[in-house]
Amino acid sequence: MLETLRRLVQEVNQARNLDHALSIIVHSVKAIMDVAVCSVYLRDNSNAFILMATDGLQEKAVGKVRLQEGEGLVSLVASRAEPINLRSALAHRNYHYFPETGEESYHAFLGVPIIHHRKVVGVLVVQDRDAQSFNEESETFLITVAAQLAGAIAHVEIGNDVAGQNETEPATLDSRSITGLPGAAGVAMGVARVVYPLADIAAVPDRQITDIAAELEKFEKALAAVRQELRIMSQRLEDKLPSQEHALFDAYLLMLESDSITDGIRSAIEKGNWAAGALRKVIQEHEQVFQEMEDSYMRERGDDVRDLGRRILMHLQQDAPADTDFSENTILVSEEVTPSMLADMPMDRIIGVVSVRGSRTSHVAILARALGLPTVMGAEDLPVRHIDGREVIVDGYSGRVYLSPSKTVRREYRELLNQEQELSEELQGLKGLPAETLDGEKIHLYVNTGLLADMTPTQESGAEGIGLYRTEFPFMIRQRFPGEDEQRNIYRQVLESFAPDPVVLRTLDVGGDKALPYFPIEEENPFLGWRGIRITLDHPEIFLVQIRAMLRASVGLNNLNILLPMISDVAELTDSLGLIHQAYGELLEDGENIEMPRIGVMIEVPSAVYQAGSLARRVDYLSIGTNDLTQYLLAVDRNNARVAALYDSLHPAVIRAMMQVVESARVYDKPVSVCGEMAGDPAAAILLVGMGIESLSMSVASLPRIKWVIRNLSRERATEILSVVLIMEDVHSIRAYLHEQLEQAGLGGLVRVGK
Ligand code: PEP
Ligand code: MG
């Protein structure tokens, strides 16, 4: 049964369009369950359910039968969001008869809701002639099918819209939008460019081309190259392989000669798809035919087809010119945008980013914020394969992506961009002014960074220094650990660019979602595993080299602050301090003239909250890393789009934890700063000022907004707001209340622009 389901889902995922997908569903489910009727109803914009496909009812009813909200058994299934299993539907008070369906002859009825992202998007129904209930096995099977298909249907439905098959102008702003998660603030209107891992044939997107002859030529060239390659391989292995195994090469060559494959690809190219997209389509169709075969030997031939496809793809990619064809307003789209993928792009052409996986605190989102690129993460329903070259709007405030947007949507976003422009011009005027509350309280604003390339905007931002330099980024873009001198040079540039202002260099925090290509860590649960200080304490040689490089970089500048990530108990801190003092002592012995830097601890693990006092008294300052603190306190993975709605640093538990840290540090007279993303959230900034936190570190793009909030608020008012928030019990009321406060302080622009 599992295998049948798997195949069904796979087929639906590969369907040409929504009609095709639904037709696969109704025919397969009817056959598997051996019932008289299987139908799918989908909800439209007005909440009515439309019969979209059937096997068993009259075909002519498709598209015509429409059940208004509250009408018929289908609506009942939807409103209850649970299955309804009836011996005789005809006898039920909600039964609604449509003569065109011919369903009067079917008594038994089983309807299950199709639920996607908590919303009932449709109902899957099976019916049978006799009056008898469906058994439990049938019920659980249909529930499983519906649960598995919900995502696939949503996918194909959106892909359909994007491919322009639904010509009508959408009725609401939403109708061609995908909801993901805000990754980096801002709006970008541009053209999607899908980037995919090389050699992954399933990930190749469709791409429209105009020069069909040139594309056909590329394909023929790749085909000839693969043929040649196979012949050489076959000759080389002729004496080494038994004849039966050797025949495999002949089979491959035969497949290459097969008109159904090569002509299929040619014809897809002739219809305007590029060779790689045409190849993916035809190879997948053939693979599927083999996979559906009962005979296991034949099923494995599907793997051969894929292998062949990969070989042709490799040649197509080798011949492709280096990507010089990025348009000037490219929106980078991928299943999983990684920091190195982003770093590889022509930065002057990228204006926005969309990633199917990941969330706001994924490191690629942090990088995008540093680069000022509006970004949407976790856009799970994005039909990646169908959107290359299409117009896209990225709304990094709300986390929405609009595909082939309508005129109305485009107009709305142009207006929003103008508003943004006005706001940022207004904010520009604040550059030289201090971040001081209305009652004269000075707040120090710093920026978070980790790239040398983003130093210039950072210096021009009016920041008072760097509050968090994530040293792992220079480690991530190399092929090996950088050496002491290499690191010293990088850190020196950073320290020099801001001297005499302070610069906080955080020691290496890899692990979790930050992998080094040359230092793989395989773990079941990486965020609770070998990460940050745990790795560097286990590898003092890595830690000591980094500390020495930092200390040497600070000679004569003396603006270095060291920050230790992921500290979860006092022993880790004392061990780290021991190593720092060891490195310092060695350098002094070597005759270097170095001052001892200020040392701080990140508070980002719940245990550190409860030991904040013990940690504070051993160091010079604390810095709260709200990204991890939120993830660990709420048990919500910061990278998982499915639970992202639960991830919010304004959660009462996070606010209380932060209060506790501030109070514990106050006992030892040690300053506390915030360097997680929360510091760049205008609503949250009110609370942080209210708590008495005097320094905030954020992405360069957030800085002017936060300064605006600080300059328009008194510290006294912020404290009052905090005391109201402290008696609130849920995050939604807190956010709503803070937005109201921003509006009242005349800062509604921040909320409106970021609607
Ligand atoms: C944090 O966890 O809040 C933080 C600033 O560190 P990172 O995002 O690099 O884990
Ligand atoms: Mg962290």
Q: How far is the CA of 681 from the centre of ligand 1 (A)?
A: 15
Q: 509, 533, 567, 698: which to mutate for ligand 1, most atoms within 8 A of CB? A: 509
Bond preceding residue 346 cis, omega within 30 of 0:
no
- Report the nearest atom of ligand 1 relative to the CA of 625: 3
Q: What is the pLDDT, as a whole number, of residue 168?
A: 39
Q: What is the pLDDT, as a whole number, of residue 754?
A: 46
Q: How far is the CA of 517 from the centre of ligand 1 (A)?
A: 20
Q: How far is the CA of 749 from the centre of ligand 2 (A)?
A: 30
Q: What is the pLDDT, as a whole number, of residue 678?
A: 95
625 lines ligand 1 (CB under 6 A): yes
470 lines ligand 1 (CB under 6 A): yes
675 lines ligand 1 (CB under 6 A): yes
Q: Which two tokens stand for residue 688?
A: 């942080």
> Which residue bears the tokens 């921040």?
750
Give catalytic residue positions: 363, 675
Task: Give the chain's largest Cα–Cα span.
Answer: 97
- Report the nearest atom of ligand 1 relative to the CA of 604: 2
Q: How far apart are CA 366 and CA 364, in angstroms?
A: 5
Q: 604, 622, 633: which to mutate for ligand 1, most atoms within 8 A of CB? A: 604
Q: What letters, b where the CB count within 10 A reaches 16 and e where it falls short, cover 541-564? A: ebbbbbbbbbbbbbbeeebbbbbb
> What is the torsion angle, in degrees rounded to the nearest 10, for the CA atoms of residue 330, residue 334, residue 339 and residue 344?
-50
Q: How far apart are CA 272 and CA 278, in angstroms?
A: 9
513 lines ligand 1 (CB under 6 A): no
* Closest ligand to residue 697's CA: 1
* Closest ligand to residue 567's CA: 2
Q: How far is the CA of 726 from the centre of ligand 1 (A)?
A: 25
> What is the torsion angle, in degrees rounded to the nearest 10, for the CA atoms of residue 694, residue 634, residue 362 and residue 577?
60
- Report the nearest atom of ligand 1 relative to the CA of 628: 2
Q: What is the pLDDT, as a whole number, of residue 320?
A: 63
| Regions of the chain short of the pLDDT cut 50 | 164-175, 754-755
Q: What is the pLDDT, as a whole number, of residue 249?
A: 72
Q: What is the pLDDT, as a whole number, of residue 199?
A: 67
Q: What is the pLDDT, as a whole number, of residue 436?
A: 97
Q: How far is the CA of 624 from the centre of ligand 2 (A)?
A: 9
604 lines ligand 1 (CB under 6 A): yes
Specify the pTM. 0.77
Q: How far is the CA of 449 from the centre of ligand 1 (A)?
A: 11
509 lines ligand 1 (CB under 6 A): yes
> Which residue bears the tokens 């830690």?
543
Nearest CA to ligand 1 atom 3: 625
- Report the nearest atom of ligand 1 relative to the CA of 361: 8
Nearest CA to 178 among 409, 400, 413, 377? 400
Nearest CA to 347 among 377, 363, 323, 379? 323
Q: Which residues have CB less than 5 Å away from ligand 2 (the ion)? A: 604, 625, 628
Q: Which two tokens stand for residue 533?
A: 């200080």
Q: What is the pLDDT, as a whole number, of residue 461?
A: 80
By CB atoms closer than 10 A (0-12, 13-18, 19+), residue 329 is middle
- Report the nearest atom of ligand 1 relative to the CA of 512: 10
Q: Which two tokens stand for residue 49?
A: 């359910």
CA distance to 207, 214, 267, per residue, from 220 (Å): 18, 10, 13
Cα separation of the two ends of the chain: 46
